[in-house]
Every structure is written in structure tokens, then in C-alpha cells.
Structure 1
Amino acid sequence: MRMPRNLLLPILLCCSVTVNARQAPTSGNSTDTTAPRGLYQRVLHYLQHTNDESKHKKVDLSFIGGPVYTPETSAGIAVMVAAQYRTDRADTLLPLSNVAVYGSVALTGFYGLGLNSTTIFPKDRFRLMLKASFSSRPDKYWGIGYGAGSSKDAYTDYLLLTEKLQADLAINLSNRFYAGISTHVQNAQAKDIDTGAGKPLMEPKRVFGMGAGPFVVYDTRDFIPNPAHGMYARIGYRFYPSFLGNRTVFSKLELQFDWYKRLWKGSILAMDFYAEEHSGDVPWNMLAQAGGSNRLRGYYEGRYRDRNYMAGQVELRQRVYRRSGAVVWIGGGNVFSRFNELSFQQTLVSYGIGYRWEFKNRVNIRLDYGRGQDQSGFYFGVNEVF
């Protein structure tokens, strides 16, 4: 699914406005004290100064709005309010906490609201990660397994209503090790299903899932939204028992490993490996799904889904000129029912290029173009994909 060419320019020129929680002082590099006049001049002024640093602000609050596009939702409009802050302003070595609230609508009829936040408590003793979202999305269902997804046009159209909440609370065990409990709640309903003969159908139409379990993290990243060096490793397990309201009993084992290194001036090599293993009677909408804006860019998210999923990618990020940068990547992944059925001949290859613009200090707006074996797509968002 491709984006019309006339959408590229407005996406690159998206309107972004920064609002400070307290009045920001004039940047030390700027001598211009004249207030801009007119909407265009004000927008241009804000875009030129969004990454100016100020050590006097309690909260660095930003508003971003403009056109967006993904293969799953098509073209639309999105707005986001984001904030960066420290829970202990006196501790300059404490990593920044962040929170983002976003909303979007698209031409396909998609609409959604969401919240992402990472709170790092004083002395980094605790970390709380929250993700919450609600969305109504016209979707496609190919069925389960590589064989089902390989038939590109053999899908069922339907409307998916989804509510999600995930909370991870971790305690600092030592300098870089963290351990905690992850809880996950998801309620999904399939509506307006195209029940044409021969098309794959999802059963049941309504699925509720609630689970919890432990996780362990090792994190040496220098800056969480956009690391330049260090590594991140996480292994977690969640169990979905019947006494929490699940119709079926199942579990999920998740593994993630990211690594970052500076190669030369303005260049970062980033690597990501991710795996999911599901056991038990797993509902169709909670199986591992390949594709989307983070891994295997270029494939429609959910076209390939199964009990197990492995994916890896390597990305080279290069600052090109001032606040502009570029990335190239290549990756691959597999979905499969059992490990003895893993076939490298069924590997889904993904590669692409992207543009980066530094909206805030080390916080990038990104535009990516990814290609798969028989699909491609543009992706627009904030922060790096990993």
C-alpha cells in the first residue's frame, strides 16, 4: 500500500509548535528579540528554536501536529502533547522521564487516542512504564500462519475496536539491573465482518485478555528516546489465567535485545533482536504479529501472525546537515507455530531508508519508507523505532 506523492510534501513540512511550561529564555545562540508576526513566521520561528535548551524549565512541554501516514490506517491527521522532565531536578545525571498523549484520525475511518510514559523516580530506584490506547480501525485478517499471510489478497475486511493497558513497574536491583512486574489488559471486538465465502474468519469476535508476570531488564543506554551507545536487554513472562477473566488459558514469553555504538562523527549503528513465544490456547488477536512501524517495516501489521515470532534488524543512523539526518536499515523475521517448523525459506525480509529531523534535542521526527517482499509503505512518527 503506497502513499500518494502529494502527501509527501505536507508531511515533511508538518506544523509543529512548542509550548513551554514556563516562559523559556532566549537561546544563547540567538540575538533576535523581535517577536515574529503572522502565522507562517511564528510557525517558522518555533521550528527553528524547538531544540533550544533551557535549564530553567521544570517541564519541557511540546505540541506536535500534522499529517501522518501508515499502510494500516492510510493518510490522516495526528496531534501529540509530549513532556520531558526529571523527578529530581537537582540530579543532572538522572535520566529524563517522559510522557506523551496523542490522538489521530485517518481517511479510512480510523481514530485513536493513546498515552505512553516512562517515569524514572529519584535516584533511579524505581521505573514505571505505562502504555494505554483506544482505537477504532478498519483492519484486514489473513488467518494464522505464514501460509495464510503469503496469499496477499486472501483476507477478510472488518472493523477492530481495541482497548489496551500495559503497566511495567521495576525496581533497581543494582546499577544497571532492574526487575519488576508487568500487567497487561486488552479488550478487542471485531465488527462489520465481511463474511464472503472462502474468506478467513476470526473466532470469537470479542476477546478479553488480562495477564501479569515478572520481567528483568539490563539497561546501559545513555538516552532512552534516542540512544547513541549502550545496550538494552529485557526478558519477560506473562500468564493469562482463567480467574482473571480470560476465556482460555495462555502465556507469553518475550525477549528483546538492543545494542548501539558510535562509528564516526554523527553516525550510530543500532541493532535490534526481538522474539515472542506463546503457549496454551492463544486468542487470534493476541498472537504474535509481524510488520508495522517498528519491526519489518513495509509489511502490513498482522498480515503474518502465529504463536511464535522472531525478528532482527540493523540500522545505520547518520546526521547529515544541522538538524537533518538519514537512516538505512535491513532486517528479517519469521512467524511459525512450533520451533521444529521454523523455515528460513519463509523469512520475511525488510529494508528501507528514512529521513530524520531533530524536533527537540535528540528527539527526532521520522519519515521512513520500507519495502517487503511484495509490499511497501511509508511511516511517519516521533522517536526512533528502537
Structure 2
Amino acid sequence: MTRNTLILIIVCFSLQAYARQEPPVDTILTIRPPRGIHNRILHYLKHTNEVKQKKKLDYSIIGGPIYTPETSLGIAAMIAAQYSTDSRDSLLPVSNIAIYSSISLTGFYGIGINSTTIFPHDRFRLAVKASFSSRPDKYWGIGYDAGNNKNGYTDYLLLTEKIQADFSINLNGKLFAGIGLQAQNGHATRIDTAGGKPLMQPERVFGMGLGPFFVYDTRDFIPNPAKGVFVRLGYRTYPSFLGNKAVFSKFEVQFNWYRQLWKGAILATDLYGDEHSGDVPWNMMSEAGGSNRLRGYYEGRFRDKNMIAAQTELRQKIYRRSGAVAWIGAGNVYPEFKVFTLSQSLISYGIGYRWEFKNRVNIRLDYGMGKDQSGFYFGINEVF
């Protein structure tokens, strides 16, 4: 597979023909939908980002080729929707939901949902992420030294079911407090047991955690902020009475900051850290890489009990619905802070293309690079 072939990723085609709607009664001019499938698709894509004030649920469907280092070349389909729980309140932040599914040449397939519901008067918020996937995967072991051996991995198939729900109450305008629940079931099969290769134990891991969190949020638009800050402090415990065979806990902190530099340009910064304590299973440790933090590294190649990462991204609107981004980031995985060392930092940088699929909701294509790896990433909404 050549890199030139991967340019096809940016050519997204719609999976839904243009849905004809009846014009208002007082409309004098009747606009006929274009003829032919090709023209209807182009017409549909041309109008997906228009704000439809009268619709309770404004949704669109899109699909096309995808590529990531973990799943290789494939096809994905996504439904993105925006809605308001109180259409009479113009100041209420917009709720959103995205449903996605994909399949790739390596045998990967998965389906997932990502949603944020803002209740009337912004008194409550509910964020839900759920997914199921079957992915041919690689396991390097635990720690920086294990991941630094680029070719020292074990091939296996990972089946994962995951759900996370955060429910919060508005305490004072932009300050929220809530409780979060996460449940994850992972099963490693078809493990290459050749001698000398790292093996994951146990092969089947179930984890369910529960705990409080606090959020301070001044972002102007959750899927794609142009200004404001987002701060989250969270603690989650995985006790035995919730069905966990391995008992452990997790503390995490996240700080995001957004500022408009000039017309069409946004500077976004993301700082993140987490700390695990106790008997942490191999598949629930901190993992560097993937499509969010430290893009360019294979997700899970570097894993350990703790992680710290930072990234800064410049987002520039270029022409009409097209935009571009450039970022640089760094991060570390480590077992405990006393052995933390900057010499083991993982550097990530790259560029990306943005296309406004819906109003202020972008389809993104990123090319990330690390010290000895690189990869393309395709998704919806900004990384942070």
C-alpha cells in the first residue's frame, strides 16, 4: 500500500441520497432536486453544513475510505446529528451525537456511539461513549523499554466491549460535579505464542469502575471550540464488589484551552495526565498513541500505569468549508513518578485536513509522525 493510494481517504462520499423536503407554503419558487445519483450526492454534501432552524434533529450521513495504523485501509460510515433539548432557549448549548461503524482489510470491524446531551437550562449534562470492536492487534508488553523494541510484539485478536457514562449537575454556571461509570470487557484470542514474545495475562479482563469528577467548562461549542477552557478532574475506583478480579483505581486530570488568534485561526492546547494504583490489568493501563494523543504511534505500543501528555494544535480555516491543522505534542508512560525521565519522551507532530461536514462539525484527516512511526487518521469532530 503506497502513501499516494492513501490520498483517497480525503475523498468522502455520501451514503445517503439527497432527501427531498417539501418547501414552505409561502415559497414562490420551487427548487427541484438535481437528477442523477452523482448530482444528488454532490447536492447533499453541499448543504450538510447549513443550519436548519426548524428541525428538531438535524442529522446527516456520510461514509468513505479510512486508514489508521491499527486497522489499515477500510470503509466507514457515520451519522452526525445536532439537537436542542429546549428549542426556545437560544443560549442553550447544542447537544450532539455521532454513530459510526467501520470495517477494514485486516479483518477489523467495529461500531460505536459518542454523544453529549445538554438538558434544559443546562442543569444537567450526560456524556456517553460506547463501542464494540474486533481488532487484530499487537502487544509489546508493559513499559517504555518494551515498546521501544519496535519489532518485539505479539500478534493477537482483541475483542472489546466498552461503555462510559458521565452524568453531571450544574453547580454554578460553568462548574459541574458528577459521577462517572465505565465498564470494559476485553478478550484476547488467536495469540501468537512463539517463544520469546510478550504474552498478555490474563487473556480475558473485565473492569467496571465508578467515581466522582468535577468539570469547569467555558467552551463556546463542545464539538469544535473556538474559545474558552475545559478542565476535568476525575477519580474512578474498580472494587471487587463490582465484579473486578483485579482491584485498582485511576486518577486523571485534563486541561484544554482555546483562543482565536486571527480570522479563521484557533490555537488549541491539551494537557493530560493519569495515574493508576493497585493491580492494573494490561489492557486497562495508560496507552500512548492512537487517533487522539500522540498521533503517529501505534495505539498501545507504549503502555504503563501512568501517562502524561501535551499537545498544541493550530487550526486554520482556508476556503469555504476547508481547513488545515498542524500540531506538535509529547508524552511519557512510566510505572511511577520517581523513575520518570525526559529522555523517554515520545514526540508527535503532524498536519491535517478539515472539511466542515455540518455547521462547525468537521470531518478530519490527520497524518501523524513519531520518532520511528507514522500513520493516517480519519474521524469526526476535533481531537480535543
Cα distance between partner residues in 1 of 2:16 and 2:109: 24
Cα distance between partner residues in 1 of 2:106 and 2:301: 18
Q: Which residue of 2 aligns with 1:5?
A: 4
Question: Cα RMSD over matched residues?
Answer: 1.6
% identical equivalent positions: 67
What SS does the aligned partner of 2:46 have? helix
Deviations 1:266-324 (A, max 9, x none): 00000000111000000000000000001100000000000000000000000111111
Deviations 1:136-172 (A, max 9, x none): 0000000000000000000000000000011100000
What SS does the aligned partner of 1:263 have? strand
Query: Please, what TM-score do these two structures have when normalized by structure 1?
Result: 0.96
Cα distance between partner residues in 1 of 2:264 and 2:22: 28
Cα distance between partner residues in 2 of 1:249 and 1:228: 40
Query: Are 1:91 and 2:96 counterparts?
Result: no
Cα distance between partner residues in 1 of 2:296 and 2:265: 24
* Contact residue 16 and residue 47 of structure 1 kept, 8 A: yes
Cα distance between partner residues in 1 of 2:114 and 2:377: 19
Cα distance between partner residues in 2 of 1:287 and 1:73: 21
> Aligned in 2, Cα 1:18/1:167: closer, same or farther, shift over 3 Å?
same
- Displacement after TM superposition at 1:25 (Å): 5.6
Task: For 1:273-288, list aligned pairs within 5 A.
Answer: 273-288=271-286
Q: Which residue of 2 aligns with 1:73?
A: 71
- Displacement after TM superposition at 1:330 (Å): 0.3
Cα distance between partner residues in 2 of 1:108 and 1:245: 33
Q: Which residue of 2 aligns with 1:209?
A: 207
- Displacement after TM superposition at 1:189 (Å): 0.5
Cα distance between partner residues in 2 of 1:81 and 1:93: 25
> Aligned in 2, Cα 1:62/1:41: closer, same or farther, shift over 3 Å?
same
Structure 2: gaps (5+ residues): none
> Aligned in 2, Cα 1:3/1:61: closer, same or farther, shift over 3 Å?
farther
Cα distance between partner residues in 1 of 2:116 and 2:22: 24
Task: For 1:301-312, list aligned pairs within 5 A.
Answer: 301-312=299-310
Task: For 1:204-243, list aligned pairs within 5 A.
Answer: 204-243=202-241
Cα distance between partner residues in 2 of 1:18 and 1:294: 28
> Aligned in 2, Cα 1:243/1:146: closer, same or farther, shift over 3 Å?
same
Q: Which residue of 1 aligns with 2:358?
A: 360
- Displacement after TM superposition at 1:34 (Å): 3.3
Deviations 1:42-93 (A, max 9, x none): 1111111111222111110111111111110011111112211000000011
Q: Which residue of 2 aligns with 1:101?
A: 99
> Aligned in 2, Cα 1:163/1:3: closer, same or farther, shift over 3 Å?
farther
* Contact residue 20 and residue 60 of structure 1 kept, 8 A: no
Cα distance between partner residues in 2 of 1:375 and 1:24: 51
Q: Which residue of 1 aligns with 2:127?
A: 129
* Contact residue 17 and residue 37 of structure 2 kept, 8 A: no
Cα distance between partner residues in 2 of 1:157 and 1:106: 17
> Aligned in 2, Cα 1:236/1:21: closer, same or farther, shift over 3 Å?
farther
Cα distance between partner residues in 1 of 2:64 and 2:176: 37
* Contact residue 113 and residue 134 of structure 1 kept, 8 A: yes
Task: For 1:33-72, list aligned pairs within 5 A.
Answer: 33-72=31-70
Cα distance between partner residues in 1 of 2:30 and 2:268: 38
Q: Give the letter for the 1:81 counterpart.
A: I
> Aligned in 2, Cα 1:120/1:19: closer, same or farther, shift over 3 Å?
farther
Cα distance between partner residues in 2 of 1:83 and 1:105: 22
What SS does the aligned partner of 2:193 have? coil
Query: Please, what TM-score do these two structures have when normalized by structure 2?
Result: 0.96
Q: Which residue of 1 aligns with 2:312?
A: 314
Q: Which residue of 2 aligns with 1:385?
A: 383
